[in-house]
Every structure is written in structure tokens, then in C-alpha cells.
């Protein structure tokens, strides 16, 4: 099971910012990012997946599909073999939701580096958030505007 969660988290490349506000303004990159945190904490993993840009979703889906293909090499008695077998034929979003559902919302949220959004720079249809992580590092989160929604494109 730890392998499943590690694979999901390594694919996501996500650092989540903490917010104490109950009102989240999703018309801004920071607001959309904070909504992602709320979705994660509430176990709304479809919403978490949807918070990523189309490009990022495609890349994650390709990785998940490779994981499912590689699962055919697992030993029959491997604790993850049955899980991965059940993922055959599912799309990336369904695989993501299934893998995330293996842990509790608390476990999943705790697996992300916690921090605070300290700045937001918007340039038309792209933005960069600086997230001060609890690890002492500042991480840049690139977001893109798709329609009227800010989506995560990349985390460095």
C-alpha cells in the first residue's frame, strides 16, 4: 500500500498551502490552490485531479497507465497486485481517485509538504505562486488559466 501512495505522490509534484479561511476565492491562483487543499482534506480526489491543467492531467494519466502495465510483472502474492489489476482499463482520473482512496484524507494531506502561499505573480493567463514550505524551502507553483479556472501546471 505504501508503494501505491508513494507512486501517486511522486506523480503529483504538489505542495499544498494551508489556509484557515473557510471562504475560498477561486477566481485567483491562490484561491484555486487553497481550494485544492480543501478538496484534498475532504477526500474529494476527483476535484484534486481536476485542479491540474489538461497538460498535467495527460502526463499523470500516462504515468498511471504505465504503472498499471508494469503491475503485470508483480508477483501474485504482492499486496498491490490485486489493486493494480482492478485498475486495468480505467482512465487516469479514475486511477488517481482509486489510488488516493487507499489512504485517509488525513494521511494524504499529511503526505504533502505543508506551507503557506507567500506571493502570487499573475501575467495574463499564467501565474507563479511562491509557497514557503514547512521544509524551509520556497517552492514555485506554476498555474495556468483554463477558461475561467486557474489550474496547476508545474511545481518546482
The structural domains of the chain, ordered by start, are 2-6+24-155 (3.10.450)
How far CA 117 is from CA of 1, 74, 93, 107, in Å, comes to 31, 40, 26, 22
Q: What is the pLDDT of residues 39-70, one digit of tens each?
A: 888 999 999 999 999 999 999 999 988 888 88
Q: Determine the pLDDT at residue 45.
A: 93
Find out whether 97 and 46 touch, Cβ atoms under 8 Å. Answer: yes
Q: Determine the pLDDT at residue 56.
A: 93
Task: List the Cα angle 141/68/108 in 5-degree steps.
Answer: 45
Task: List the Cα angle 142/155/133 in 5-degree steps.
Answer: 110
Q: What is the pLDDT of residues 106-117, one digit of tens each?
A: 887 776 656 789
How far CA 145 is from CA of 9, 60, 77, in Å, comes to 24, 19, 45
Q: What is the pLDDT of residues 61-95, one digit of tens each?
A: 999 888 888 877 766 666 777 888 888 889 999 99
Mean pLDDT of the region 137-142: 88
Show Cβ contacts of residue 23 under 8 Å, excluding neighbours closer than 6 positions.
none
Pull the grid cell for residue 23.
471562504
Amino acid at each position: 500500500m505504501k508503494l501505491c501512495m508513494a507512486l501517486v505522490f511522486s506523480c503529483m509534484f504538489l505542495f499544498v498551502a494551508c489556509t484557515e479561511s473557510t471562504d475560498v476565492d477561486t477566481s485567483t491562483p491562490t484561491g484555486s490552490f487553497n481550494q485544492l487543499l480543501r478538496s484534498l482534506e475532504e477526500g474529494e480526489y476527483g476535484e484534486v485531479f481536476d485542479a491540474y491543467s489538461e497538460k498535467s492531467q495527460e502526463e499523470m494519466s500516462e504515468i498511471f497507465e504505465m504503472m498499471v502495465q508494469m503491475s503485470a510483472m508483480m508477483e501474485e502474492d504482492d499486496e498491490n497486485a490485486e489493486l493494480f489489476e482492478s485498475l486495468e482499463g480505467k482512465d487516469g482520473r479514475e486511477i488517481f481517485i482509486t489510488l488516493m482512496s487507499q489512504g485517509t484524507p488525513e494521511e494524504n494531506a499529511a503526505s504533502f509538504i505543508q506551507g503557506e502561499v507567500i506571493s502570487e505573480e499573475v501575467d495574463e493567463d499564467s501565474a507563479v505562486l511562491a509557497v514557503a514550505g514547512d521544509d524551509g524551502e520556497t517552492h514555485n507553483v506554476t498555474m495556468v488559466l483554463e477558461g475561467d479556472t486557474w489550474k496547476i501546471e508545474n511545481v518546482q
